[in-house]
Structure 1
Amino acid sequence: MKNITFVYDPETEQEKLEELLERLDPKPVEHISFSDLKISNYSERDCLACSLSDEHLKDLIQSLGENKVKLALLPHPQMIEARKGYGINSNFEKAWEEIQLAEEIPVIDMMQVNEKMAFNSLVVGTSLGILYSSSSSNFFEGLKQRLKQLGSLFRRVKLKPYTITYKNGSDEEKVIETAAMGILAVAHCESNIIFRRVIQESGLEDGRVHLLILAPKSLFSLIQFGLQNLFFPVKGSTLPSFVGYLSTSEVVITSSETIQFAMDGKEGEEKELHINLVEEKIKLLPGASILEAEKTDGPDEINARLLPTGRLKEELLHSYLPWVRHATAEEFKELFSLLRQNAQTSSTYLVLMALSTMIATFGLFGDSAPVVIGAMILAPLMGPIISLAMGALRQDALLIKNSLITIFWGIILGLLFSILITSITPLEILNDQILARIRPNLLDLGIAVASGIAGAYAYSKEEINKTLAGVAISVALVPPLAVAGIGIGWLDWSVFGGAMLLLGTNLAGIVMAASITFLVLGFSPFRLAKRGLMISLGIFIAIALPLGLSFNKMVDENSIIQELAGKEIPHGLLREVKVVQMNPLRLSVTLLSDKVLTENDFEEIKSEIEEEIKQPIELEMTLGISMGESARKVKQEGFKDGIWKSIFN
């Protein structure tokens, strides 16, 4: 770049000026104080490299008129907003180097608000900065700032009414009447850390003002998004649904209340804000980060239709922002219509219930996981259970009644067909598929909770395939229902009891989790949901206590197996350790030994195992004895009256 004149602050002392001139290499053609500057002496062939305060820079730009002189910026202690807005390097020498290397200086858009120039941004209400972390070279300083921003999210928030009048891409005037927490406006997306994070399409001379409108419908959604962006920021992340984006040549913001705003950090109050671009084209060299950014034509609107309007807007303005989002009237209408329909006992429901239980029963007898999964796909249990969850949440007696009746007949029909198949099947073996459904523990309760969340979320979102979530719920209900029928068919009440406990556990877990999910999604106010939630939670806790004991028992069994499996004892190597029962403790093990053991050795082996786990045991043992090229199996069963009885195979 040639013909560069260095323009400095008139308040700069001579010693400081000499220092600045010393740092300029190569030297400018001249240097001049801003107070002595006469714009008429310069033309479009010249470049003014300015190290001025924001206020002096505004005066300079306003004095340009039709003069096409080029401008470049050098850092200055009072150049805060211009340096941020145009991405000027904070290092004086590097900023000067960028000016020297520039082949040409582009024309840029400059925003003005109520005919006052804005270098950086306009913030109306609460800044979106509370949702985004700023860069910091110091880790602890950055962490402190993030925690402070996070704390600011946990406060009472009241939205304000705004009417936003703007022109779309077709230059048609559009109006949005909404309730918002804040609005952020800039001329260049790359100049602002928040816009850079979510909007990549912007140009230095695209003739557009860019707005982000923060309009959360709940504190929960605000905190959730804030946590993600404060601690796990990702450039190019999509806008949350409660933030709208507008790109327009001109916009007017009005409100029934006084609008509080900050333009380039200076606070003010107005009844109306008119935001547009300065008409005069200005050639100004931005920082390399903005100049090198890829520019493409971006969308005119993002999420604009999702901003709260109409009845929802009035509800949000009426009180403080709720912790959980309230569903819209349209969402209520569609979902409740579907749930009331699913709560009815229909012939289709009964047929599918019978078929799914039959398939599950055959799969259980065949110890076939794929067949059991096939039964889950057919099972229609999701509909009435989700309806029951919503009925419990909203205290809807009719919905609860119809759902319970439908679930009851489904269970009865499932038991009948499972009993029928069991009675004609000449098998009575507790295989792995059956055993897995008669010893419920906290892990099963976790499956139920996750299934309930999946079911409720799927029903609240049209775009989600409800069949997939239905499989998740069927996983928790159809197999134990079939096993309960098998238990009745065998007249084995321990099998029946264990399966019914699992069925009840899963039903309670699903209903409670689905109810809470609907509450979080805003389908019921907490005051209405409180009673139903307390009942569901009470049942949930009552079931969780014995399941906790069962889970603790499983942990103890696993601990014993881990301690003994692969353990070398004086008589050989322990393999395939299983806990047959816990009280009294009965173990089944395989012992690999290189010698033939006598009956006297068996008591010693038992004592050695008891020494390892520090408790008495009953022992079932299979021996693998190596004898040259051949081997034989010895199955050791029982210990009675101090004598081991051996069976050699």
Structure 2
Amino acid sequence: MLKFCTSANPHKTAITAVHYDKFCKEPEKYLEKSTHIVASISEERLENLFNLAMLHHFSLGLVPLNTQKYLAGALNLPLNVDESIDIALQNNMQAIDLVRCNDQTLISKAVMGWLPLLDTQSSKKSLKQYLFDFYTELKKLFTVNLIPFEIETANGKKIKTAASGVIVLHHQKSSMVSKLSPYENSLRDGMISIIIFSPFSVFEYIKFLFIARLSMKKRKTLPTIIGYIRSSKIEIKPQKPLKADIDSYSSSSTPLVCEVIRDALLINAPESFWEDNPKSTTVKEAVKVDNLPNEKEIPKYSQKHIPLLSYASEERFKDLFQSLREDAKTNSTYLTLMTLSTILASIGLLLNSTSVVIGAMLLAPLMAPIVSLAMGILRGDENLLKASTAKIAIGVVTALISSVAVIYIIPLTVITNEIISRTNPTLLDLGVAIVSGIAAAYSKSFKEIVQSLAGVAIAVALVPPLAVAGIGLGMGEIYIFIGAFLLFLTNLVGIILSATFTFQILGYSSVLKSKKSFLFVSLLLAAISFPLYLSYNEIYENHKLSLFMKQERYLINGKYIIINDADIRKKANMLIINLHLSAREQLTRSDLGLLKKKIQSHTDRKVYIKAKIDYIL
């Protein structure tokens, strides 16, 4: 117990020691000559001391025990005893708010429900201990159900949702939990905050946990599995009784009613505490629960264990589903764009113009129904499945008819490099399709990046292979049709499968509902994978042959011939090789014939050679 005087210690105070029990029995006796108490006591006694301070209006200087890190953190007090005593003896008392939860004093936080690895001290653990705890809690995560909660604020606003747990925060600026919310809280603003955790899936929770652990700064937005409420009074009512741990030393049971008492205590604290806790009377109630399940979704989330991947509902993703349904409808605009893009692609292919072909890719509308089909497979939406499948089929037929018509109108029989390049699909093309499907589903899921679908359309190029297939039909070249249509099927199957899984990971369904459709697409993938592998292997063998020819120095009839470049293309069962040769002496037809025989000896296929010769003087 302290009373101010003019000497006796650096703070010019006279100090009188008194036992806690004696002071509690007769506080009026000891407060006759002094109104400031310095205390270093246990949590249970600290709560009673706060009650006495509010009743008898004396100020406090607190010296935390070594075990009271939460108290030191809440008031920015050092754990060093001498430094804490120095602060406690200063004549610089100011008022702070006090929070009562079910008539118990809350200093830092109250926790109810299941919130693994989010305790404020977990960051002090070793990596080995943290990984062990993570593994232990991860196993529990698969057995947890979200609990229905009803939460009411001081203004009478009621929120019904489902959550795994709730944390009530008074002030914890240095804790990991406090950094999860972008909103500031203070011990002098008349408000109490709660953070509501509602993980939609194991995957979402793990992602959130790693981001929360790695982030050192306060977040600018709420994480996707969190809701936030700030009010002067909050009542929390879970559907089933829960234990509420208060400041790790006390507990209560739900329902939990937490209320702020303004300017309840006069305390001494360091300057850093007052800077972090400016006094405010203008802070308004805040309710940010858009990330949480709404009242209609509560039964779905509370009756099942948290899934590995998120599940979704029409209410949650209404805008996206509406957009996908529109994309699955066949209309005159779609048919017009398919016709125009195919005609443009066909002309570009015949002209060997890459820029014209790219323009056709941008114009083509075929990506939209494919993405809709992926969602239809995932969600088991029969209407979406039928509509998108029909739209894709109509688009394919339209493209083939349009490109065949171009060949009849423009009777060119030149097979350009642009055409040839789309007749030998490989596993690499399947890889491009898979990545494009992921990008398409991701872009479609977020309005702010939906414009990226144009880039995806260029990357995967759906219409040009169809145009090449139609050109092959028009020319009567079946090998061109088969190769180009195989490329189209490769793109189609790759996009559908990868977009389906991407939508699942993004939370649009926890399970694959249209298993028959998915099985059909998977079987189609298996069917085309073999020719893709053969084609890839063939390209690899051609590449090896090209390298071998360029490294070899041929001696023909006493004349040295160097192959500078060799471009090898397959046509039916023949290899067309374009050679760029260098020689010092004039090459005769006989010399070139012998060169062809030497090259032919390295492959089983018939070789057709075109040569450009540079003579070195």
From 343, 363, 366, give the equivalent of 1:378.
363
Written as runs of structure 1 = structure 2, the 5 A alignment for 1:243-392 is 243-266=226-249, 268-285=251-268, 291-293=274-276, 300-301=285-286, 303-330=288-315, 339-392=324-377
Farther off after superposition, 413-422 or 155-164: 413-422
CA distance in 2: counterparts of 1:420 and 1:74, whole angstroms:
90
CA distance in 2: counterparts of 1:68 and 1:568, whole angstroms:
102
Give, in angstroms, the shift of residue 312 of structure 1: 0.5
Q: Which runs of 5+ in 2 are unaligned?
A: none
User: Does the C-alpha gap of structure 1 residues 439 and 147 become closer, same or farther in structure 2, counting only changes over 3 Å?
Assistant: farther
Deviations 1:384-429 (A, max 9, x none): 3334334444555554444333322221221122122234446555
Give, in angstroms, the shift of residue 226 of structure 1: 2.4
Deviations 1:616-641 (A, max 9, x none): 998987665654xxxxxxxxxxxxxx
CA distance in 2: counterparts of 1:589 and 1:91, whole angstroms:
83
User: Does the C-alpha gap of structure 1 residues 41 and 555 become closer, same or farther in structure 2, counting only changes over 3 Å?
Assistant: farther
**DSSP 3-state at the match of 1:497:** helix
In structure 1, the residue matched to 2:150 is 163
Q: Which runs of 5+ in 1 are unaligned?
A: 6-23, 628-649
Aligned alpha-carbon RMSD (Å): 4.7
In the alignment of these two chains, the number of paired residues is: 597
Give, in angstroms, the shift of residue 64 of structure 1: 1.7
**DSSP 3-state at the match of 1:438:** coil
Deviations 1:7-33 (A, max 9, x none): xxxxxxxxxxxxxxxxx9999864746
Overall identity of the aligned pairs, in %: 28
Give, in angstroms, the shift of residue 261 of structure 1: 1.8
Give, in angstroms, the shift of residue 122 of structure 1: 0.4
Q: 2:60·2:88 contact (CA, 8 Å) conserved in 1? A: no
Q: 2:73·2:174 contact (CA, 8 Å) conserved in 1? A: yes
User: Does the C-alpha gap of structure 1 residues 27 and 603 become closer, same or farther in structure 2, counting only changes over 3 Å?
Assistant: farther
CA distance in 1: counterparts of 2:451 and 2:534, whole angstroms:
34
**DSSP 3-state at the match of 1:163:** strand
Written as runs of structure 1 = structure 2, the 5 A alignment for 1:209-220 is 209-220=192-203
Give, in angstroms, the shift of residue 457 of structure 1: 4.5
Q: 2:194·2:229 contact (CA, 8 Å) conserved in 1? A: yes
Give, in angstroms, the shift of residue 114 of structure 1: 0.8
Superposition TM-score, scaled by structure 1 size: 0.76
Give, in angstroms, the shift of residue 214 of structure 1: 0.8
From 115, 119, 144, give the equivalent of 2:131.
144
In structure 1, the residue matched to 2:103 is 115
CA distance in 2: counterparts of 1:564 and 1:233, whole angstroms:
58
Counterpart check, 1:82 vs 2:71: yes
User: Does the C-alpha gap of structure 1 residues 363 and 573 become closer, same or farther in structure 2, counting only changes over 3 Å?
Assistant: same
Counterpart check, 1:40 vs 2:31: yes
Farther off after superposition, 251-260 or 233-242: 233-242
**DSSP 3-state at the match of 2:255:** strand
In structure 2, the residue matched to 1:183 is 166
**DSSP 3-state at the match of 1:322:** coil
In structure 1, the residue matched to 2:527 is 542
Q: 2:580·2:613 contact (CA, 8 Å) conserved in 1? A: yes
Q: 2:231·2:284 contact (CA, 8 Å) conserved in 1? A: no
User: Does the C-alpha gap of structure 1 residues 485 and 30 become closer, same or farther in structure 2, counting only changes over 3 Å?
Assistant: same
In structure 2, the residue matched to 1:472 is 456
CA distance in 2: counterparts of 1:535 and 1:118, whole angstroms:
59
**DSSP 3-state at the match of 1:528:** coil
CA distance in 2: counterparts of 1:94 and 1:590, whole angstroms:
85
Q: Which amino acid aligns with 1:40?
A: L
In structure 2, the residue matched to 1:443 is 428
CA distance in 2: counterparts of 1:77 and 1:356, whole angstroms:
75
In structure 1, the residue matched to 2:514 is 529
Q: 2:191·2:230 contact (CA, 8 Å) conserved in 1? A: yes
Give, in angstroms, the shift of residue 229 of structure 1: 2.9
Give, in angstroms, the shift of residue 468 of structure 1: 4.2
CA distance in 1: counterparts of 2:603 and 2:10, whole angstroms:
83
In structure 1, the residue matched to 2:41 is 52
User: Does the C-alpha gap of structure 1 residues 148 and 334 become closer, same or farther in structure 2, counting only changes over 3 Å?
Assistant: closer
Q: 1:128·1:182 contact (CA, 8 Å) conserved in 2? A: no
User: Does the C-alpha gap of structure 1 residues 187 and 519 become closer, same or farther in structure 2, counting only changes over 3 Å?
Assistant: same
Q: Which amino acid aligns with 2:142?
A: R
Q: 1:244·1:301 contact (CA, 8 Å) conserved in 2? A: no
Give, in angstroms, the shift of residue 165 of structure 1: 0.6
Q: 2:117·2:134 contact (CA, 8 Å) conserved in 1? A: no
Give, in angstroms, the shift of residue 314 of structure 1: 1.8
Q: 2:190·2:262 contact (CA, 8 Å) conserved in 1? A: no
Give, in angstroms, the shift of residue 98 of structure 1: 7.0
Q: 2:582·2:614 contact (CA, 8 Å) conserved in 1? A: yes
Q: Which amino acid aligns with 2:65?
A: H
**DSSP 3-state at the match of 1:123:** strand
Q: Which amino acid aligns with 1:385?
A: I
Give, in angstroms, the shift of residue 442 of structure 1: 2.5
Q: 1:54·1:81 contact (CA, 8 Å) conserved in 2? A: no
Q: Which amino acid aligns with 1:320?
A: H
Give, in angstroms, the shift of residue 568 of structure 1: 10
Give, in angstroms, the shift of residue 157 of structure 1: 1.3
Superposition TM-score, scaled by structure 2 size: 0.80
In structure 1, the residue matched to 2:184 is 201
Q: 2:228·2:288 contact (CA, 8 Å) conserved in 1? A: yes
Deviations 1:224-247 (A, max 9, x none): 322333456654253223210111
Q: 2:399·2:466 contact (CA, 8 Å) conserved in 1? A: yes
CA distance in 1: counterparts of 2:339 and 2:82, whole angstroms:
81
Give, in angstroms, the shift of residue 366 of structure 1: 3.6
CA distance in 1: counterparts of 2:514 and 2:398, whole angstroms:
32
CA distance in 1: counterparts of 2:74 and 2:516, whole angstroms:
53
From 65, 75, 96, give the equivalent of 2:54.
65
**DSSP 3-state at the match of 1:257:** coil
User: Does the C-alpha gap of structure 1 residues 427 and 58 become closer, same or farther in structure 2, counting only changes over 3 Å?
Assistant: same
CA distance in 1: counterparts of 2:364 and 2:120, whole angstroms:
45
User: Does the C-alpha gap of structure 1 residues 524 and 532 become closer, same or farther in structure 2, counting only changes over 3 Å?
Assistant: farther
- Which protein, 1 or 2, shows the higher relative CO under an 8 Å CA cutoff with sep ≥ 6? 2
**DSSP 3-state at the match of 1:419:** helix
CA distance in 1: counterparts of 2:379 and 2:185, whole angstroms:
47
Deviations 1:36-62 (A, max 9, x none): 767626757x673x4433334333333
